[in-house]
């Protein structure tokens, strides 16, 4: 039997995961589920809700919640990690500092990502150290952002750890592509390379062995489609994602060799992203006033009513993806997923020690990446710069060196010059004193 623990169980991303776990608990041989968080209020709201919901739907799984990490980790088999030190409040503060200075503040790209990395790296390292002591055989599946930088830190500090760093973005985009071609996602074999939130698809082979990428390219070049938004049913009520799925096609039109991950919009269309950002209402504000409010209000309503009947935990790609990977490990299915792992030759002309996002076959031994081969100069150039920034950010978080932090900041493609970089760095540091390592 398996004990699953959600580290950061008070997250608004939890409901989707909790619902998929409940539906598939028999397959996963899950008999115990623990929500762990440092935020007592949030974890108790989501924890009590989940207990009630599981019980009323007849689930045999024992659900509990705690703010005690040691207790949560005891005898654990799977740890789903999704933490956010400083919550979305700090995310919005970072976004605003960046936007006011005329640069991208997104939580994974630009200096919003830098700041989030400085907050999260020390905590993640402390948690994994505990895991090594208390439940060294447990698998850690990490969703925590900024995944690119964080995975670089994790595999550097714990090269032998049983960790798979993942993101739901590649599979979400693949789902939209499959729907566009009226195909079953499972019937298409995707080849992708890059880093997290920074990569490209080189091929998408259908069940007949035909590559769909040339057709997609033609449909974009001819103007037949200018967005993939309507083929992505999950985010159609969210203008940010509608716009993002459109900008992704714009980028593909401008750079038609490979199909881009949508997060490249922050690096290849920063002018548009800046023009569209609103310092008074950022994505962090949107999440706090939207998703967070909705979920915790619903928890409170259900707990007051004393029943979860008529309520539901929503599920979707986010929950399915991480559970699919756990399932692949448990049943040694050797299915193919796109994950973040040490390059180790997968991209032959890229640093073997760097963490990259590539397809891998996942089974009980973990992830075995596939060979990508040589990548073109354009993509490699962008990746080299980004990787240098990521590595220097990890160095800064681990060393607490101001000079190294400054180097990281100046390496980021969204930073125009030293003066802007230093000013934003100093303002971010001031606003994050409580969370960053001392510089």
Return the active site residues.
Answer: 168, 263
Q: How far are the Cα atoms of 55, 66, 82 from residue 9, in angstroms, in the given order?
A: 18, 9, 8
* Of residues 104 and 405, the one with the C-beta less far from Mn ion: 104
Please check whether residue 341 is in contact with residue 360, taking contact to mean a CB–CB distance below 8 angstroms: yes
Counting contacts by CB under 5 A, is residue 169 touching Mn ion?
yes
Counting contacts by CB under 5 A, is residue 28 touching Mn ion?
no
Counting contacts by CB under 6 A, is residue 169 touching ligand G6P?
yes
Instruction: Compute the least distance from the CB of residue 62 to Mn ion, in Å.
Output: 31
| Helix runs in 57-110, H state only | 69-73, 87-100
Counting contacts by CB under 6 A, is residue 145 touching ligand G6P?
yes
The entry of Mn ion, ligand G6P, none that residue 287 binds, CB within 5 to 8 Å by partner kind: ligand G6P
Instruction: Compute the least distance from the CB of residue 419 to ligand G6P, in Å.
Output: 30
Counting contacts by CB under 6 A, is residue 168 touching ligand G6P?
yes
Q: What is the torsional sign of CA 178, 179, 182, 184?
A: positive
Instruction: Compute the least distance from the CB of residue 51 to ligand G6P, in Å.
Output: 25
The entry of ligand G6P, Mn ion, none that residue 283 binds, CB within 5 to 8 Å by partner kind: ligand G6P
- CA-to-CA distance for 305 and 299, rounded, in angstroms? 10
Strands 139-142 and 163-165: parallel
Counting contacts by CB under 6 A, is residue 242 touching ligand G6P?
no
* Of residues 60 and 290, the one with the C-beta less far from ligand G6P: 290
Q: Nearest residue to ligand G6P, using CB?
A: 169
Residues 285-304 that bind ligand G6P (CB under 6 A): 287
Please check whether residue 329 is in contact with residue 315, taking contact to mean a CB–CB distance below 8 angstroms: no
* Of residues 48 and 145, the one with the C-beta less far from ligand G6P: 145
- CA-to-CA distance for 108 and 235, rounded, in angstroms? 19
Instruction: Compute the least distance from the CB of residue 324 to ligand G6P, in Å.
Output: 15
The distance from CA 2 to its chain's CA centroid, rounded to whole angstroms, is: 24
Stretch that binds ligand G6P, among 33-41, 43-51, 163-171, 368-376 (CB under 6 A): 163-171
Please check whether residue 388 is in contact with residue 71, taking contact to mean a CB–CB distance below 8 angstroms: no
* Of residues 170 and 421, the one with the C-beta less far from Mn ion: 170
* Of residues 44 and 145, the one with the C-beta less far from Mn ion: 145
Counting contacts by CB under 6 A, is residue 167 touching ligand G6P?
yes
Counting contacts by CB under 6 A, is residue 11 touching ligand G6P?
no
Counting contacts by CB under 6 A, is residue 3 touching ligand G6P?
no
Counting contacts by CB under 6 A, is residue 283 touching ligand G6P?
yes
Stretch that binds Mn ion, among 163-171, 270-278, 395-403, 418-426 (CB under 5 A): 163-171
Instruction: Compute the least distance from the CB of residue 177 to ligand G6P, in Å.
Output: 16
Give the dihedral of Cα atoms 46, 50, 52, 56; nearest 10 deg: 150
In the numeric block, the tokens 């919003």 are attached to: 112
| Number of neighbouring beta carbons within 10 Å of residue 197 | 24
The H or E element spanning position 203 is: strand 198-205
Please check whether residue 160 is in contact with residue 182, taking contact to mean a CB–CB distance below 8 angstroms: no
Q: What are the backbone angles phi and psi of residue 232, rounded to the nearest 5°?
A: -120, 95
Nearest by Cα to 187 from 323, 40, 336, 81: 336
User: Would you mind telling me the total number of residues written for the chain in this entry?
Assistant: 439
Please check whether residue 325 is in contact with residue 164, taking contact to mean a CB–CB distance below 8 angstroms: yes
* Of residues 167 and 188, the one with the C-beta less far from ligand G6P: 167
Kindly list the residues in this chain that would bind ligand G6P in the complex (CB under 6 A).
Answer: 145, 167-169, 283, 287
Q: Which residues bind Mn ion (CB under 5 A)?
A: 167, 169
């Amino acid at each position: 039997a398996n004990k699953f623990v959600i580290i950061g169980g008070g997250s608004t991303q939890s409901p989707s995961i909790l619902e998929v776990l409940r539906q598939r608990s028999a397959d996963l041989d899950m008999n115990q589920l623990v929500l762990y968080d440092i935020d007592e209020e949030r974890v108790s709201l989501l924890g009590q809700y989940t207990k009630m919901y599981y019980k009323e739907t007849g689930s045999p799984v024992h659900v509990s919640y705690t703010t005690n990490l040691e207790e949560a980790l005891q005898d654990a088999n799977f740890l789903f990690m999704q933490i956010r030190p400083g919550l979305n409040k700090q995310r919005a503060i970072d976004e605003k500092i960046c936007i006011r200075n005329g640069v991208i503040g997104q939580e994974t790209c630009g200096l919003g990502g830098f700041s989030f990395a400085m907050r999260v790296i020390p905590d993640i390292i402390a948690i994994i150290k505990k895991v090594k002591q208390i439940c060294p055989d447990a698998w850690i599946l990490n969703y925590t952002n900024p995944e690119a930088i964080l995975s670089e830190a994790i595999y550097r500090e714990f090269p032998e750890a049983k960790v798979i760093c993942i993101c739901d973005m590649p599979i979400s985009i693949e789902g939209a592509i499959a729907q566009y071609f009226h195909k079953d996602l499972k019937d298409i074999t995707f080849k992708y390379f890059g880093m997290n939130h920074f990569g490209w698809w080189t091929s998408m082979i259908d069940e007949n062995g035909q590559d769909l990428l040339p057709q997609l390219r033609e449909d974009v070049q001819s103007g037949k489609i200018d967005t993939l938004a309507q083929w992505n049913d999950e985010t159609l009520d969210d203008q940010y994602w509608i716009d993002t799925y459109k900008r992704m096609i714009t980028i593909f039109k401008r750079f038609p060799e490979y199909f881009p991950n949508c997060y490249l919009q922050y690096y290849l269309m920063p002018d548009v992203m800046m023009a569209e950002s609103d310092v008074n209402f950022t994505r962090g504000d949107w999440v706090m006033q939207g998703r967070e409010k909705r979920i915790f209000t619903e928890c409170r309503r259900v707990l007051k009513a004393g029943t979860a009947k008529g309520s539901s935990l929503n599920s979707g790609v986010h929950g399915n993806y991480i559970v699919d990977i756990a399932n692949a490990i448990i049943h040694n299915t050797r299915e193919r997923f796109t994950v973040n792992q040490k390059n180790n030759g997968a991209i032959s002309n890229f640093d073997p020690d760097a963490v990259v996002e590539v397809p891998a076959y996942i089974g009980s031994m973990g992830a075995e990446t596939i060979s990508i081969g040589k990548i073109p100069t354009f993509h490699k150039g962008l990746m080299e710069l980004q990787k240098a920034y990521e590595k220097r950010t990890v160095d800064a978080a681990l060393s607490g060196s101001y000079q190294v932090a400054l180097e990281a900041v100046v390496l980021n493609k969204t930073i125009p010059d030293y003066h802007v970089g230093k000013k934003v760095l100093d303002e971010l540091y001031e606003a994050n004193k409580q969370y960053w390592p001392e510089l």
